């Protein structure tokens, strides 16, 4: 799976940045998608010296009651051998097909993301969850596993577990899924930069960097800080 760029349709709001003037980057991912973990490296390499704000966005590839995949069946080993492992080797990423069977539903983990976001740990939560599944073979569909990971991030163990048990963030997560639908997200990862540049699949560093630099130039023109091809 490689990055492809298309125009944002349906929800395009023009050239906008965040309130801080940074270029906003939305990344829709699912914790059981290996390509989402592989996309993290190019994303950060391309933007480490640029003024961006990365927001991880929930997207469930197989929401309940859709059956999840089983690593002992033919499909997962085949696609990992054909696509995931070769790409991971080229990128130098340590990733292994988890043996958790069937693969977990991710709704509860995403509700945990909403708790983490409310407590200032959004940026750390998604990469940590991906590593837990693809490097540590942990069942991220279980409340006790999620609670342990949350505690590792410095979140309150009891508060986290109580919030997930009570469904405190269920509606917030459902609203996030409606946002994904509004942006017509159908694959993971999907990356939208400055509400305008769309990349689907694992992008290259060059693709991400070009989109961010283009967005910066577009924002400068919109602010009246530069001249565009149509004049000043």
Tens-binned pLDDT, residue by residue, of the chain (232 aa): 445 544 443 333 333 454 567 999 999 999 999 999 999 999 999 999 999 999 999 999 999 999 999 999 999 999 999 999 999 999 999 999 999 999 999 999 999 999 999 999 999 999 999 999 999 999 999 999 999 999 999 999 999 999 999 999 999 999 999 999 999 999 999 999 999 999 999 999 999 999 999 999 998 888 776 565 566 5
Cβ atoms of 5 and 207 closer than 8 Å: yes
pLDDT digit string, tens, across residues 53-81: 999 999 999 999 999 999 999 999 999 99
Beta strands in the chain, from DSSP E residues, in sequence order: 4-7, 23-29, 52-58, 190-193, 197-200
* Predicted TM-score (pTM) of this structure: 0.88
Burial class of 73 by CB neighbour count within 10 A (0 to 12, 13 to 18, 19+): exposed
């Amino acid at each position: 799976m490689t990055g492809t760029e298309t125009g944002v349709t349906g929800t395009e709001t023009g050239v906008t940045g965040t309130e801080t003037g940074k270029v906003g980057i939305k990344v829709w991912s699912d914790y059981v998608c290996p390509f989402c973990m592989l996309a993290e490296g190019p994303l950060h390499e391309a933007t480490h010296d640029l003024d961006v704000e990365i927001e991880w966005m929930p997207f469930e590839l197989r929401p309940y009651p859709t059956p999840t995949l089983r690593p002992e069946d033919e499909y997962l080993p085949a696609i990992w051998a054909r696509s995931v492992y070769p790409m991971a080797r080229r990128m130098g990423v340590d990733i292994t097909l988890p043996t958790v069977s069937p693969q977990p539903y991710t709704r509860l983990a995403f509700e945990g993301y909403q708790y983490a976001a409310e407590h200032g740990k959004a940026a750390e939560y998604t990469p940590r969850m991906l590593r837990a599944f693809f490097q540590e073979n942990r069942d991220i569909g279980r409340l006790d596993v999620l609670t342990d990971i949350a505690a590792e991030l410095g979140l309150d163990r009891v508060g986290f577990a109580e919030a997930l048990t009570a469904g405190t963030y269920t509606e917030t997560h459902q609203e996030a899924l409606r946002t994904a639908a509004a942006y017509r997200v159908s694959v993971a990862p999907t990356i939208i930069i400055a509400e305008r540049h769309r990349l689907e699949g694992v992008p290259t560093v060059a693709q991400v960097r070009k989109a961010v630099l283009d967005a910066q130039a577009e924002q400068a023109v919109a602010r009246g800080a530069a001249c565009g091809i149509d004049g000043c």
